[in-house]
Chains A and B, each alone.
Chain A
Amino acid sequence: MNFISWRRLRALCWKETLQIFRDPSSILIAFFMPLLMLFIFGYGINLDFSRLRIGLRIEDGGAEAAAFAAALTGSPWLEVHVYDSRAAMERALVDSQIRGFVVIPQDFSRKLKQAGETAPVQLAADGTEPNIAQFVRATVNGVWQTWQMQRAEDRGEDLRREIMLEPRVWFNPSAESRNFIIPGSITVIMTVIGALLTSLVVAREWERGTMEALLASPVTRTELLLSKILPYYGLGMVSLMLCVAVAHWVLRVPFRGTITALWVVGSFFLLSVLGIGLAISTGMRNQFNAAQAALNAAFLPAVMLSGFIYEISSMPVFLRGFTHIIPARYFVSAMQTLFQAGTIWKLLLPDILMLLGTTVVFIGLTAKLTKRRME
């Protein structure tokens, strides 16, 4: 539809590239932010509970109570603090010094020995931290079960569990949360680069009036759009490769896919978020508003609705529906596949198709908005 002059396009892209490199804030966003965020996600966001702090109060003097206490203290998953009084232990729970506590009550050993009686162990978990509480319960339960079975075996009793669940974790055998959080977090980083950076920079051109100057020149709409997209696409791809390299070699999250697949998936995602950033800045024309809008329209959805930490299937129906128009959702899924499973086209293809769709929608929207501005 439009005539493209390669010479003009090259000149425009060159101008844009110079602008990127001369502006400290764009370097800050494109290189410093990704590394800072990878570092945060790599070390700070860890959902694996290595040492749960719990309190222990032994009110029973028997050998059985001591044996169970030893089993708890010996668990590599627990950091057990023994308390002399229940009140002190409860205060520690209120003050968040411990995440739960176990009480072995007075007649524990006696009831345990007596046939036909069940000796209770009390377990309290801090409900204000639901995720931690779940893990406290599961861990203490596991220790207790192992101890009980060991004890029965020692006494020559048969206390075999009739059914044993044998968990096996696919894709991420060690079940480390960073193995899925880091690939997902690259999505958030790319969103910041694609949407926040472009929206700020292009809005500034509108604010300063240099966009009008460009529009007065013989530049066509396609050329203008391409000159805004191509340099930032290049910048984004360099950042993406940098992130994947740091994730693989520094943070030690194995990347199992191929560079080609990464390039294909990354390109479509980057074009989608560039589209969002450009559409916002073209619509807003004001740096401050554009930044706020980019934060709310691109950054927050990428963090909250992309499924990289927070499970999409747990959301209510209306939100689940909404996540389908968020490009980050597909990129998170594709990145997790590439990192943890490898280049499996059967799994990647649906994500790529959806990203292609969002690219067309958001770039198209920008084209339309630019046209309106130009008229």
Chain B
Amino acid sequence: MIFFSRIHALVRKEFQSLLSTKSGRLLLIMPVILQTALFPFAATLEVKNASLAVFNEDHGRASVEMMQRFAASGAFTRIIPVWSGEEVDQAIGTRQAMLAVHIPADFSRKMAAGESSPVQVILDGRRSNSAQIAFNYLQSVLDVYLKDRASAAGRVVPSEIVARNWFVPNLEYTYFILPSLVAIITTIGSLIVTALSVAREREQGTFEQLLVSPLSPEMIMIGKAVPAVAVGFFQATLILIAAVFIYHVPFRGNLALLYGAMFFYALALVGVGLFISSVSKTQQQAFLGAFVFMVPAILLSGYTAPVENMPVWLQHLTWVNPVRHFVEVVKGVFLKDASFGRVLVLVWPLVVISGADVPAQDRVRAGVFHFKSSE
């Protein structure tokens, strides 16, 4: 019983130091709001409002029809007509246009003669990913146009591809971003809270006071872990609410399963955070340590670029990255109604990672003994 009342007191103290100042409270909530408002619009690989430069040297009906299809597709909000090769250079060079289409003078003539008519498309390689996506748009618009022409002429294609996107039929990027954000933002919150709390106490000298109190090292650890887990849950819940009610991303899975996995995720972060704080002497070092861990962890989580595109050795290395596993959990449960078994596969690495705080515990214990023996 004493165990619980002591822990209770300690946790209360931790919450007080976390929430006592206005700037402290603000730091827990402002980044969440700011990033939830900003990320879905900014951090997306979606190609919208692309502009297309058109250099049409042909005046036949087919080229006009094709251009009309491109203009009507909605993928390109701006069509820039240009009249010379230099203007094409200019439009691509100055980033006015992402793609440029060059229709040669003999385009309609070749089509009428039953030949295959080439159309040159220039892609801005300085943004090759977006340009390729835009090019794929163009290609699919053209495919539809050619199919329409074929059926108008009474020709039947021997085969066709019937494509469908599972889980997110219209490929809305917000469906991809918001579940990932749940993982990313809680990472920042929980990690900084744990990493800085021990460092702050050490800098202010109150850590020694904790050590001489009747609290055991395990209790101190639990006292530091509870607020971090709470912060993680709180921030994740905020984003979940925003995702479902503001961005209208349908939640398809089991909420209890998600929170269960989140508990282990938060523990993994606490493990990493305590490890960082145990090796830092000052708050500044703890902050830098957290930063040095967080930037690679978030960038290599599969959010920015898929894990499978990395070199194989790096893919194996990302196994120790808690963010990678949890991004998968949230996306899986949120959008695909992932099964318990699937979540379990993703959670057990988190349990292993949370063991990172074992050295930290040892250090605290060592501190205790060191302190007691010097008395």
| Co-complex (A, B) | yes
With most chain B CB atoms within 10 A of its CB, the pick from A43, A51, A169 is A169
| Contact A175–B132 (Cβ < 8 Å) | yes
Determine whether A33 belongs to the interface, using a CB cutoff of 8 Å to chain B.
yes
| Contact A164–B116 (Cβ < 8 Å) | yes
| Contact A315–B42 (Cβ < 8 Å) | yes
The answer, among A43, A288, A291, A292, for a CB contact under 8 Å with B311, is: A43
The segment from B168-176, B208-216, B257-265, B353-361 found at the interface with A is B168-176
| Contact A94–B158 (Cβ < 8 Å) | no
| Contact B48–A167 (Cβ < 8 Å) | no
Residues of A within 8 A of B196 (CB): 288
| Contact B129–A177 (Cβ < 8 Å) | yes
Determine whether A225 belongs to the interface, using a CB cutoff of 8 Å to chain B.
no
Kindly state the separation between the CA atoms of A248 and B31 in the bound complex, as whole angstroms. 36
Expressed in whole angstroms, the minimum distance between the Cβ of B114 and any Cβ of chain A is 8
| Contact B125–A118 (Cβ < 8 Å) | no
| Contact A167–B123 (Cβ < 8 Å) | yes
Q: Which residue of chain A lies nearest to B318 when distances are taken between CB atoms in the complex?
A: A44
Determine whether A48 belongs to the interface, using a CB cutoff of 8 Å to chain B.
yes
Are A36 and B292 CB-contacts (below 8 A) given A161-B146, A163-B142, A340-B126? yes
Residues of B within 8 A of A288 (CB): 196, 283, 287
Kindly state the separation between the CA atoms of A154 and B196 in the bound complex, as whole angstroms. 69
Determine whether B131 belongs to the interface, using a CB cutoff of 8 Å to chain A.
yes
Kindly state the separation between the CA atoms of A160 and B139 in the bound complex, as whole angstroms. 16
Within 8 A of B (CB), among A302-351: 304-305, 307, 309-311, 313-316, 319, 333, 336-337, 340-341, 344, 346-347
Q: Which residue of chain A lies nearest to B339 when distances are taken between CB atoms in the complex?
A: A94
Within 8 A of A (CB), among B180-210: 196
Interface string of A37-79 (1 = CB under 8 A from B): 1001101111111110100000000000000000000000000
The segment from A2-10, A122-130, A215-223, A229-237 found at the interface with B is A122-130
| Contact A333–B95 (Cβ < 8 Å) | yes
Kindly state the separation between the CA atoms of A144 and B314 in the bound complex, as whole angstroms. 32
Q: Which residue of chain B lies nearest to A320 when distances are taken between CB atoms in the complex?
A: B49
Expressed in whole angstroms, the minimum distance between the Cβ of A96 and any Cβ of chain B is 7
Determine whether A121 belongs to the interface, using a CB cutoff of 8 Å to chain B.
yes
The answer, among B46, B160, B306, B342, for a CB contact under 8 Å with A314, is: B46
The answer, among B98, B120, B309, for a CB contact under 8 Å with A47, is: B309
Q: Which residue of chain A lies nearest to B334 when distances are taken between CB atoms in the complex?
A: A128
| Contact A309–B120 (Cβ < 8 Å) | no
The segment from A11-19, A80-88, A134-142, A266-274 found at the interface with B is A134-142
| Contact A121–B160 (Cβ < 8 Å) | yes
Kindly state the separation between the CA atoms of A333 and B305 in the bound complex, as whole angstroms. 21
| Contact B305–A47 (Cβ < 8 Å) | yes
Total contacting residues, chain B, CB less than 8 A: 105
| Contact A115–B167 (Cβ < 8 Å) | no
Q: Which residue of chain A lies nearest to B290 when distances are taken between CB atoms in the complex?
A: A291
Expressed in whole angstroms, the minimum distance between the Cβ of A290 and any Cβ of chain B is 10
Q: Which residue of chain A lies nearest to B173 when distances are taken between CB atoms in the complex?
A: A130
| Contact B164–A115 (Cβ < 8 Å) | no
Kindly state the separation between the CA atoms of A109 and B50 in the bound complex, as whole angstroms. 40
Residues of A within 8 A of B145 (CB): 163
| Contact A173–B47 (Cβ < 8 Å) | no
Kindly state the separation between the CA atoms of A93 and B332 in the bound complex, as whole angstroms. 11
| Contact A169–B42 (Cβ < 8 Å) | no
Expressed in whole angstroms, the minimum distance between the Cβ of A48 and any Cβ of chain B is 7
| Contact B117–A33 (Cβ < 8 Å) | no
Interface string of A99-114 (1 = CB under 8 A from B): 0000000001001100
Determine whether A356 belongs to the interface, using a CB cutoff of 8 Å to chain B.
no
Interface string of A168-185 (1 = CB under 8 A from B): 111111011101100000
Residues of A within 8 A of B130 (CB): 311, 314
Within 8 A of A (CB), among B334-372: 335-339, 342
Residues of B near any A CB (own CB < 8 A): 23, 27, 31, 34-35, 38-39, 41-51, 62, 66, 92-95, 98, 111, 114-133, 135-136, 138-140, 142-143, 145-146, 149, 156-173, 175-176, 196, 283-285, 287-288, 291-292, 295-296, 299-300, 304-306, 308-311, 314, 328, 331-332, 335-339, 342
Residues of A within 8 A of B114 (CB): 158, 160
The answer, among B115, B163, B339, for a CB contact under 8 Å with A125, is: B163
Residues of A within 8 A of B42 (CB): 304-305, 310, 315, 319
Within 8 A of B (CB), among A162-207: 162-173, 175-177, 179-180, 196, 200, 204
Kindly state the separation between the CA atoms of A213 and B288 in the bound complex, as whole angstroms. 27
Are A289 and B45 CB-contacts (below 8 A) given A120-B159, A124-B164? no
Residues of B within 8 A of A132 (CB): 306
Determine whether A28 belongs to the interface, using a CB cutoff of 8 Å to chain B.
yes
Expressed in whole angstroms, the minimum distance between the Cβ of B164 and any Cβ of chain A is 5
Residues of B within 8 A of A48 (CB): 129, 309
Given contacts A118-B158, A128-B336, A131-B306, 11 further A-B contacts (CB under 8 A): A94-B338, A122-B162, A127-B168, A130-B175, A130-B176, A162-B111, A163-B142, A165-B119, A170-B125, A288-B287, A314-B44
With most chain B CB atoms within 10 A of its CB, the pick from A151, A289, A291 is A291
| Contact A36–B27 (Cβ < 8 Å) | no
| Contact B50–A180 (Cβ < 8 Å) | no
Q: Which residue of chain B lies nearest to A177 when distances are taken between CB atoms in the complex?
A: B129
Determine whether A20 belongs to the interface, using a CB cutoff of 8 Å to chain B.
no
Can you identify 24 A-B contacts, CB atoms within 8 angstroms?
A44-B299, A51-B308, A94-B339, A119-B159, A122-B162, A131-B45, A162-B111, A162-B146, A163-B119, A163-B145, A163-B146, A164-B119, A165-B142, A170-B92, A172-B126, A196-B291, A288-B287, A296-B34, A313-B51, A313-B98, A319-B41, A336-B126, A340-B125, A346-B93
